[in-house]
């Protein structure tokens, strides 16, 4: 049956529930806002509570006979050319783990780009899957990692032919995209599935001028956050499947193992609404966003001390394959300050939050929600920042180690090291010890150190200098990094 993309089954079911004046003697206990604290209602608005209904036995009946979720998932699959789509209310952090567990199993190997997000590493720890790390393509002059090449995956498969499949992150949070078609070809020549962590690529299917997306490039499973570049609510994530290398029921079962039994219908509604919006208006909305991004990039480049990274900087042999211009990545090294300090200043003085920030960059993520008004405000703030750099220069410098120095030996498997007896040692004494924890600058969330890696002096010095300069390490047991959690060795 032809898909009617004008429908939005979840939104429509919510509207029907409201029209019918549905009355639940079920969770959620606020019962359509009536029991919510009036102070919460004043801040959140009652619409939040009205839309927060039980999925089965509220939105749909107890046996899901209305096929509300299934119909919404099918429409999404149709929109992005997938065979199956699954909605998740637990972020891509869940989706990526479900994908990994459908492709491989405990004790088996999976090829993983070392620029993977911490949720992938969490998946390795929880499952006992052994990573075969594939090196990103390093831009050594910019201290930036782009996705690994197809040749990198081919080499890793040649060295580990028993690996069950591969995982690549594309686009990166910086907007750099991998050559997905070639990586999928490498995998499929060997009959192995490819997972693409496309958390940053929800918008890619809906405009030709954006990098190609995983399903069109032939990937088997693709994970996408609808809340990042899309207009869904936080935690809204989908994963798509195509081809016959992975059993759809098994993938659903893996997600069921990890997910909540109380999915938030508001999050489902946000995903459903995004799909319809994009199918009907995505080309126009994203076309406008791309034009706005081009104008904004030119204007930022003209601000003294700012350099906007574009395709010329990111793409080329041994660099990224393609590039998404919506994350506007700004190199502010010339201003003599750090991205951390600049981000704090923008928030304090202009109530503007930058997205990524590191020792020399900040980024402003643009989406179809932006317009001249928002970018004018951004530009005014950036010009003001450039005018105030003398007061921002008093910052600790962060020397980033070379790519070779950043890579540490995986002395034990992530799971073994994470669950091993561990102890806390002063950071200076952690050199040569095996990490028992993840240490991840956030954003972007790519672990610098992960359980099982033998810690080295350059990496620890870099992290300590980073913390001094304002780097945030949310997952380290000691976020100030005075101590590090290491494996007890006898």
Question: Of the listed pieces 15-23, 90-98, 122-130, 285-293, which binds ligand PLP according to CB under 6 A?
Answer: 90-98
- Provide the token pair at 83: 């065979």
Q: CA-CA distance, 220 to 188, in Å (whole number)?
A: 9
Instruction: Decide: 133 and 121 in contact? Cβ < 8 Å.
Output: no
Nearest to 444 by CA among 297, 276, 327, 307: 327
Check residue 173 for interaction with ligand PLP (CB under 6 A). Answer: yes
Nearer to ligand PLP, 85 or 427 (CB): 85
Which residues in 217-256 contact ligand PLP (CB under 6 A)? 225, 237
Per DSSP, the three-state class of 87 is: strand
Question: Of the listed pieces 59-67, 88-96, 174-182, 407-415, which binds ligand PLP according to CB under 6 A?
Answer: 88-96
The neighbour count for residue 7, using CB atoms within 10 Å, is 14
Check residue 88 for interaction with ligand PLP (CB under 6 A). Answer: no
Tell which one of 60, 73, 139, 197 touches ligand PLP (CB under 6 A): 197
Residue whose token pair is 């300050």: 337
Tell which one of 71, 117, 240, 297 touches ligand PLP (CB under 6 A): 117
CA 116, 117, 121, 124 torsion-angle sign: negative
E strands, 128-267, in order: 130-134, 137-139, 144-146, 166-169, 176-177, 194-197, 221-225, 237-241
> What single DSSP character describes residue 205?
G
> Can you give the C-alpha Rg of the chain in angstroms?
23
**Contact string 48-87 vs ligand PLP (x = CB under 6 A):** ----------------------------------------
Instruction: Decide: 60 and 66 in contact? Cβ < 8 Å.
Output: yes
**Binding residues for ligand PLP, total number by CB under 6 A:** 14
Nearer to ligand PLP, 117 or 422 (CB): 117
Q: How far is the CB of 198 from ligand PLP (least distance, A)?
A: 8
**Contact string 418-447 vs ligand PLP (x = CB under 6 A):** --------------------------xx--
Nearer to ligand PLP, 58 or 447 (CB): 447
Burial (CB count within 10 angstroms: exposed 0-12, middle 13-18, buried 19+), residue 413: middle
* Contacts made by residues 480-483, CB under 8 angstroms, sequence distance 24+: 481/427, 481/439, 482/426, 482/427, 483/424, 483/425, 483/426, 483/427
Tell which one of 32, 85, 89, 93 touches ligand PLP (CB under 6 A): 93
Nearer to ligand PLP, 174 or 345 (CB): 174
- Provide the token pair at 78: 């149709």
Nearer to ligand PLP, 197 or 331 (CB): 197
Nearest to 362 by CA among 376, 347, 349, 377: 347
Nearer to ligand PLP, 120 or 150 (CB): 120
Question: Of the listed pieces 91-99, 261-269, 305-313, 319-327, which binds ligand PLP according to CB under 6 A?
Answer: 91-99
Check residue 211 for interaction with ligand PLP (CB under 6 A). Answer: no
Nearer to ligand PLP, 51 or 173 (CB): 173
Which residues in 260-319 contact ligand PLP (CB under 6 A)? none
Per DSSP, the three-state class of 135 is: coil
Nearer to ligand PLP, 93 or 375 (CB): 93
Q: How far is the CB of 444 from ligand PLP (least distance, A)?
A: 6
Tell which one of 32, 89, 119, 363 touches ligand PLP (CB under 6 A): 119
Tell which one of 96, 111, 286, 343 touches ligand PLP (CB under 6 A): 96
Alpha helices per DSSP H over 302-338: 311-314
Contacting residues toward ligand PLP, per CB under 6 A: 91-93, 96, 117, 119, 169, 173, 197, 199, 225, 237, 444-445
């Amino acid at each position: 049956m032809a898909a009617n993309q004008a429908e939005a089954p979840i939104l429509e079911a919510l509207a029907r529930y409201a029209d019918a004046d549905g009355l639940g003697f079920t969770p959620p206990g606020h019962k359509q806002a009536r029991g919510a604290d009036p102070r919460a209602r004043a801040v959140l608005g009652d619409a939040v509570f009205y839309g927060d209904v039980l999925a089965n036995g509220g939105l749909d009946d107890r046996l899901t006979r209305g096929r509300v979720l299934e119909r919404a998932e099918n429409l999404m699959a149709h929109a992005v050319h997938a065979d199956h789509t699954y909605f998740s209310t637990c972020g891509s952090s869940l989706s990526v783990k479900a994908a990994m567990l459908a492709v491989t199993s405990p004790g088996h190997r999976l090829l993983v780009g070392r620029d993977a997000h911490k949720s992938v590493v969490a998946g390795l720890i929880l499952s006992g899957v052994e990573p075969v790390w594939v090196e990103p393509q390093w831009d050594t002059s910019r201290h930036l990692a782009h996705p690994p090449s197809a040749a990198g995956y081919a080499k890793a498969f040649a060295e580990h032919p028993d690996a069950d499949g591969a995982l690549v992150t594309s686009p990166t949070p910086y907007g750099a995209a991998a050559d997905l078609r070639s990586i999928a070809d490498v995998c499929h020549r060997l009959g192995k599935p490819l997972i693409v962590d496309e958390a940053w690529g929800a918008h890619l299917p809906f405009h030709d001028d954006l990098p190609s997306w995983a399903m069109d490039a032939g990937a088997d499973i693709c994970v996408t956050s609808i809340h990042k570049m899309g207009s869904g609510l936080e935690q809204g994530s989908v994963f798509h499947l195509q081809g016959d290398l992975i059993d759809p029921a098994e993938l659903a079962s893996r997600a069921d193992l990890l997910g909540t039994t109380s999915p938030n219908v508001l999050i489902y509604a946000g995903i459903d609404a995004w799909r319809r919006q994009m199918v009907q208006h995505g080309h126009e909305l994203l076309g406008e966003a791309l034009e706005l991004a081009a104008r904004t990039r030119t204007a930022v480049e003209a601000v003294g001390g700012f350099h906007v990274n574009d395709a010329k900087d990111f793409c080329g042999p041994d660099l990224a394959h393609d590039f998404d211009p919506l994350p506007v990545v700004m190199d502010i090294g010339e201003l003599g300050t750090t991205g951390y300090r600049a981000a704090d200043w923008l928030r304090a003085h202009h109530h503007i939050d930058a997205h990524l920030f590191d020792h020399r960059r900040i980024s402003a993520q643009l989406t179809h929600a932006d317009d001249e008004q928002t970018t004018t405000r951004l530009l005014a703030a950036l010009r003001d920042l450039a005018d105030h750099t003398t007061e921002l220069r008093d910052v600790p410098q962060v020397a980033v180690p070379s790519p070779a120095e950043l890579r540490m030996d995986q002395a034990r498997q992530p799971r073994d090291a994470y669950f091993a007896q561990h102890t806390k040692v002063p950071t200076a004494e952690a050199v040569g010890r095996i990490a028992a924890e993840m240490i991840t600058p956030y954003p972007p969330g790519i672990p610098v150190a992960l359980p099982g890696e033998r810690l080295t002096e350059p990496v620890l010095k870099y992290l300590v200098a980073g913390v001094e300069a304002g780097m945030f390490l949310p997952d380290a047991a000691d976020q100030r990094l005075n101590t590090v959690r290491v494996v007890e060795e006898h």
